[in-house]
Structure 1
Amino acid sequence: MPTRTDHPLSTVLEQVGSSSCPGTLNFHCHTICSDGSLTPEDLITQATERGLTHLAVTDHHSSHAHHAMRDWLSRQRESGRTVPTLWSGMEISALLKGCLVHVLALGFELNHRDLQRYNRGDAVVGEALRAESVVRAIHAAGGLAVLAHPARYRLGHDVLIEEAARLGFDGAEAWYDYEMQPHWRPSPLICETIDRQLRELGLLRTCGTDSHGIDLSGR
């Protein structure tokens, strides 16, 4: 199992900054395979046309969009087109300090048995819902566990990030549009504070539009 430092996605995430999203990197977006509006093919077409270099689609409890996008990208490469690098992704519900949060699984082995229970369209119940169980499953599948939009929950982001670090999370979503504007822009101050805390803890930082509509540059 790759560790945080030697996972191939880690070197990409080390480049993440306030201006990375939505034009270059996007590690949080959705398709019709969960609650999004774009088909997998439409989303990857849009990402390619806009010049993204790295992308992960993180449908809720589903990685099913990945195969269609991978096939589309393969055809484009064969025709000589420059396309983004696509990473596996999924957004998983979990309980962290008794608070329901979302965990982004990134760069994991598709169809790995340890993630199957989380890949059925709905949140799990019982012990499997605990954040430590989710992180353990993601790591067993060779992926990175990232706390999504840490300032959107009933508990403070500082408390949740501290607990996430204690449980072995690999990082958190540092750059996010909490105002949910038509065109994505990271929220100042709060994102800078989260980014600083993650750096101090030695955790990876991601960014994403969390797009559910028909425009990949907005929410």
Structure 2
Amino acid sequence: MPFKHPLRAVLEQVTATTCPKRFNFHCHTLCSDGSLTPEALADEAVKIGLEHFAVTDHHSLEAYPLVQKRLDYHRSAGSNVPKLWTGTEVSCVLENCLVHVLALGYEPNHGAMEPYLQGDTVVGEQLGAAAVVEAIQAANGLALLAHPARYRINFKLLMRAASELGFDGAETWYDYEMQPRWRPSEHVCERVADLAMDLNFLQSCGTDSHGLSLLGR
């Protein structure tokens, strides 16, 4: 029987309203370009009452064990804590356009991901989208195209190209206006979601938080 990633069942529940209070699969800490320490981000996640989330620092997994340790502390103190999934935001080239890929739920010590966890964008053949997706899936992770409507190329072209390369999904619900309090951009996100369904893509959502709150960017 082929491997069915346990995160799939979670992503299948994603709707326009699951972020930012239930799920958040796109946020950052001081380990890349965010403003929160990993511990403070964990505190925020517990305070909000998140059920599932991933820290997706750029080309880094440094925050993951620190966030998990802080969540364990909250659990030992009697608090309900969310499920933390591994995550990294990886840059790559798709259709001659530099895009970002959310690597979610991969094995943290798998060698296939090592080139993409060195704190900076790779160069050469490893920068290609096909190579990035291959590495993520080799580490038993899911590869999702981040914020498809933020690039210089139309999201339809990018998502279809991603589908042909075997991407698992796309970040469907995203705040393209980058408001202080997160809210999905209604018309754009609905069009992205419709195409995701046509492509049989998993859908994710996230605040892409870089500031001091997980409720906004």
Taking structure 1 as the reference length, the TM-score comes to 0.97
Deviations 1:100-140 (A, max 9, x none): 00000000000211111100100000000000000000001
Query: Residue 137 of structure 1 aligns with which residue?
Result: 135
Please give the alpha-carbon distance, in whole angstroms, between the structure 2 residues aligned to 1:215 and 1:77. 21
- Cα pair 1:35 1:212 within 8 Å, conserved: yes
Please give the alpha-carbon distance, in whole angstroms, between the structure 1 residues aligned to 2:37 and 2:108. 19
Matched residue SS, 1:9? helix
- Cα pair 1:21 1:209 within 8 Å, conserved: yes
Task: Give the aligned residue type for 1:122.
Answer: D
Please give the alpha-carbon distance, in whole angstroms, between the structure 2 residues aligned to 1:101 and 1:164. 11
User: Percent identity at matched positions?
Assistant: 57
Shift of 1:2: 6.4
Change in 2 beyond 3 A, CA 1:96/1:2: farther
1:190 aligns with 2:180: no
Pairing 1:55-74 to 2, within 5 Å after superposition: 55-74=53-72
Pairing 1:41-120 to 2, within 5 Å after superposition: 41-120=39-118
1:166 aligns with 2:164: yes
Please give the alpha-carbon distance, in whole angstroms, between the structure 1 residues aligned to 2:40 and 2:60. 17
Deviations 1:36-60 (A, max 9, x none): 0000000010010010000100000
Deviations 1:159-200 (A, max 9, x none): 000000000000000000000000000001110000010011
Query: Residue 38 of structure 1 aligns with which residue?
Result: 36
Q: Which runs of 5+ in 2 are unaligned?
A: none
- Cα pair 1:58 1:104 within 8 Å, conserved: yes
Shift of 1:76: 2.0
| Aligned with 2:205 (options 204, 207, 215) | 207
List 4+ stretches of structure 1 deviating above 4 A. none
Please give the alpha-carbon distance, in whole angstroms, between the structure 2 residues aligned to 1:16 and 1:169. 17
RMSD between aligned residues: 1.1
- Cα pair 1:28 1:211 within 8 Å, conserved: yes
Query: Residue 7 of structure 2 aligns with which residue?
Result: 9
Deviations 1:72-92 (A, max 9, x none): 112222232110000000000
- Cα pair 1:2 1:142 within 8 Å, conserved: no
Query: Residue 121 of structure 1 aligns with which residue?
Result: 119
Change in 2 beyond 3 A, CA 1:48/1:215: same
| Aligned with 2:150 (options 149, 152, 157) | 152
Task: Give the aligned residue type for 1:103.
Answer: V
Taking structure 2 as the reference length, the TM-score comes to 0.98
Please give the alpha-carbon distance, in whole angstroms, between the structure 1 residues aligned to 2:137 and 2:55. 18
Please give the alpha-carbon distance, in whole angstroms, between the structure 2 residues aligned to 1:94 and 1:47. 29
Count of paired positions? 217
Q: Which runs of 5+ in 1 are unaligned?
A: none
Query: Residue 24 of structure 1 aligns with which residue?
Result: 22
Matched residue SS, 2:149? coil
